[in-house]
Homo-oligomer: A and B are copies of this chain.
Amino acid sequence: MASSLNIGVIGAGSAVFSLGLVRDLCLTDGLHGSRVVLMDTDQERLDRVHLLATRYVEELDVPFEFEKTLDRDQALDGADVVINTALVGGHDHMEAQRDLAEKHGYYRGFTLSTFLQLGLMLEIVRDMERLCPDAWLIESANPVFEGCTLMTRQSDIKVLGLCHGHYGYRRIARELGLDVEKVTFEAPGFNHCIWMTKFEHEGRDAYPLIDEWIETKAEEFWRTHKPGYGDNQMSRAAMHQYRLFGLMPIGDTPRIGGWWYHVDLDTKKHWYGHLGGFDSEIGWAQYLKNLDERVAKIECAAHDTDSRVTEAFPPQKSGEQIVPIIDGLFNDNEGHFQVNIPNNGVLDGVPDDVVVEVPGVVNKSGIKGYVTQQLPRNLMLQVMQPRLWRAECTLDAFLTGDRRLLLTLLLDDHRTRSLDQAKGFLAAALSMPGNERLLELFAR
A residues near B, CB below 8 A?
244-246, 258-260, 263, 267, 377-378, 381-382, 385-386, 389, 392-393, 396, 400, 402, 404-405, 407-408, 411-412, 414, 416-419, 422
Contacts and interface: CB of A to CB of B under 8 A. Distances in A.
Contacts of A418: 260, 263, 267
B245 A404 contact: yes
Nearest to A260: B419
A260 B244 CA distance: 28
Interface centre among A258, A402, A419, A422 (most CB of B within 10 A): A419
A405 B382 contact: yes
A389 B396 contact: no
Given A244-B407, A414-B414, A419-B260, A400 B378 contact: yes
A62 to B, nearest CB: 51
Nearest to A393: B381
A396 B378 contact: yes
Nearest to A381: B393
A422 B344 CA distance: 37
Nearest to A377: B396
A244 to B, nearest CB: 6
Given A245-B404, A381-B405, A386-B389, 8 more contacts: A244-B407, A260-B416, A260-B418, A263-B418, A378-B404, A381-B389, A381-B392, A414-B416
Contacts of A385: 389, 392
A261 B330 CA distance: 57
A244 B389 contact: no
Contacts of A408: 244, 381-382
Nearest to A418: B260
Contacts of A260: 411, 416, 418-419, 422
17 contacts: A244-B404, A244-B407, A244-B408, A258-B419, A260-B418, A260-B419, A263-B417, A267-B418, A377-B396, A381-B389, A381-B393, A382-B404, A385-B389, A386-B389, A386-B412, A414-B414, A414-B416
